[in-house]
A and B are shown apart, each in its own frame.
Chain A
């Protein structure tokens, strides 16, 4: 029977790999996800076979039922604009599971001391369990904070304790390591008191909290991606501790792919992962020096009817969406406007910066929801050369990713970050609620450029007005 379980695990992880490779292309993605889900079902059945003699069926079935009831409705009903926080939440509970598994093992093996007699090399197994406990708890609490920030329950700006932030992080980190050492020593002697294991979970959880709190909203794509990778790694560690190959493979694949994605995001912001995790970026010191250069220039505001006329007589229009589009839920309005423009023979394209929005690919999902064909959504490298050939570019709720200072001003905090070269197009219309600066706290010279006009107001309302004016033309 155990051979059957092992074989089923192998089948399962082969399906994960197959499914995941399907997720790398739009055409095969739906099938890829289904294959991965089927693999999960196989692994699940194998596990039930493995534990078939258990006396805890009642608890298991009750817990599974609660999980299904709690998991499906939010996944079905969530608005696409709220996807980042939902993914953060699902990621968090995954990390929480890992931490609880490690805790359960600790209890079951009398502080890991039973590992010595029963199952082979105790020290590596204990280390894997402790790693799983720390990273799992960190990921759980970090994700909860990320969720609260994305849900606007906590402010999305960086929350720090100033100069004490770094010492605080170090102390909390050392606390979790110290508690782990106590538990580790206990494992090879007489077993540590349970309170020490709880201390690990608390310190690691605090580490997650103090790490994510200082990270601002626009860095969220990196944070979510990083937390996802961490949960994967902790799952792999738990798999090692439990000698479960399905968990090892699945966890490690997620860890590796999450690391790649995190790196891509960090690169798109021209910042290193450590500097993002160190947090506190934006809204701080850099702002003052950056504003000085702009002085008292005036941005020109425009009206919906003027904007409509400009758009109607363009050959090509590029839409640059940002987080503001998600906040205003303007994706359907944008698609309606594009439809009207296309009916007039105007070509409409969408330029999407890799870190626009609050998670990797956030804008693509929103536009896809509004039925924008995925081949009309252009990646930064593909479209940057086109701006100079474009009559009108509409920037909807994006700011820092269009800031030409990143190219021209070495003193700017975002200097060197790859941006969309919006300023090269013949004219630019910026939809924005007010003149406030972007997340980085940096003034955007684009708003004051000669070819830029501002259309103030809620993005959705503005776009709808423009569409109506277009129809009336």
Chain B
């Protein structure tokens, strides 16, 4: 990667920040917990980093192997647990008395 590549990454970083702001700017309080839990799961993307560090190392030594092992475990817990618990929470928001359907538009 040269400087152009790095700067392109910075550009992506900045734009992503604005997208994050734009997408989340209007969220009802009701969904704050699922949203936090969902974004929490999304930052579990770090598991990729752990895979890359270990996966691209030629002849990784024992320290690197141990560190990467823990990192992959942590990252996997973050991503899998995060999505499962978010799904569970959201499923509860779905189950309402059937008659409520007609009033959905209010929110």
Residues of A within 8 A of B (CB): 13, 16-17, 19-21, 23-27, 29-30, 32-34, 36-37, 40, 43-44, 47-48, 50-51, 54-56, 59-60, 62-64, 66-68, 70-72, 74-76, 78, 80, 83, 86-87, 90-91, 93-94, 96-98, 100-101, 103-105, 107-108, 119-121, 124-125, 224-225, 228, 231-232, 235-236, 238-240, 242-261, 264, 352, 354, 359-362, 364-365, 368-369, 371, 373-375, 377, 379
- Give the 4 A-B CB pairs with smallest separation, nearest first: A67-B76, A51-B55, A256-B20, A361-B32
A352 touches B51 (CB 8 A): no
A94 touches B40 (CB 8 A): yes
List 14 extra interface pairs beyond A71-B77, A264-B32, CB under 8 A.
A13-B16, A33-B41, A34-B87, A50-B52, A59-B65, A94-B43, A108-B64, A247-B48, A249-B12, A252-B20, A256-B21, A365-B34, A371-B92, A374-B107
Known pairs A256-B19, A365-B92; A63 contacts B49 (CB<8 A) = no
How would you classify the secondary structure of chain B's contact residues: helix, strand, loop or mixed?
Answer: helix
Question: A465 to chain B: closest CB distance in Å?
Answer: 26
Contact with A along B10-52 (1 / 0, CB 8 A): 1011001111110111111111111111111111111111111
CA distance A113 to B49 in the complex (A): 19
A74 touches B24 (CB 8 A): no
A238 touches B33 (CB 8 A): no
- A108, A247, A362: the one contacting B45 at CB < 8 Å is A247
A251 touches B33 (CB 8 A): no
CA distance A78 to B55 in the complex (A): 33
How many A-B Cβ pairs are below 8 Å? Answer: 389
B56 touches A54 (CB 8 A): yes
> What are 20 sample pairs from A and B whose C-beta atoms fall under 8 A apart?
A20-B20, A24-B35, A43-B48, A59-B54, A66-B73, A71-B76, A71-B77, A75-B85, A78-B85, A80-B89, A87-B37, A100-B67, A104-B67, A228-B36, A228-B43, A247-B46, A254-B42, A257-B23, A260-B21, A361-B30
Closest to B55 in A: A51
Please give, as numbers and ranges, the residues of chain A lying within 8 Å of B90 by CB-CB distance. 29-30, 33
B85 touches A360 (CB 8 A): no
B77 touches A30 (CB 8 A): no
Within 8 A of A (CB), among B63-107: 63-65, 67-97, 100, 103-104, 106-107
A240 touches B13 (CB 8 A): yes
- A76, A90, A103, A245: the one contacting B88 at CB < 8 Å is A76
CA distance A70 to B81 in the complex (A): 8
Question: A269 to chain B: closest CB distance in Å?
Answer: 14
CA distance A126 to B47 in the complex (A): 20
Please give, as numbers and ranges, the residues of chain A lying within 8 Å of B40 by CB-CB distance. 87, 90-91, 94, 228, 231, 254
Please give, as numbers and ranges, the residues of chain A lying within 8 Å of B50 by CB-CB distance. 97, 100-101, 104
CA distance A362 to B52 in the complex (A): 36
Question: B17 to chain A: closest CB distance in Å?
Answer: 5
Question: B81 to chain A: closest CB distance in Å?
Answer: 4
A375 touches B107 (CB 8 A): yes
Please give, as numbers and ranges, the residues of chain B lying within 8 Å of A246 by CB-CB distance. 45, 48
CA distance A404 to B53 in the complex (A): 55
B39 touches A228 (CB 8 A): yes
* B47, B49, B73, B76: most-surrounded residue (chain A CB, <10 A): B49
Please give, as numbers and ranges, the residues of chain A lying within 8 Å of B39 by CB-CB distance. 20, 228, 232, 253-254, 257-258
Question: A139 to chain B: closest CB distance in Å?
Answer: 10
Please give, as numbers and ranges, the residues of chain B lying within 8 Å of A68 by CB-CB distance. 76, 80
Question: A114 to chain B: closest CB distance in Å?
Answer: 11
CA distance A80 to B60 in the complex (A): 42
Please give, as numbers and ranges, the residues of chain A lying within 8 Å of B93 by CB-CB distance. 26, 29-30, 368, 374
CA distance A231 to B10 in the complex (A): 18
B87 touches A30 (CB 8 A): yes
B76 touches A16 (CB 8 A): no
CA distance A301 to B81 in the complex (A): 45
- B17, B36, B61: the one contacting A224 at CB < 8 Å is B36
CA distance A56 to B10 in the complex (A): 31
CA distance A124 to B10 in the complex (A): 10
Please give, as numbers and ranges, the residues of chain A lying within 8 Å of B83 by CB-CB distance. 33, 36-37, 40
A253 touches B68 (CB 8 A): no
B54 touches A60 (CB 8 A): yes
Closest to B92 in A: A368
CA distance A457 to B98 in the complex (A): 35
A250 touches B80 (CB 8 A): no
A352 touches B53 (CB 8 A): no
Closest to A104 in B: B53
Known pairs A68-B80, A261-B36; A121 contacts B53 (CB<8 A) = no
Closest to A78 in B: B85
CA distance A369 to B92 in the complex (A): 5
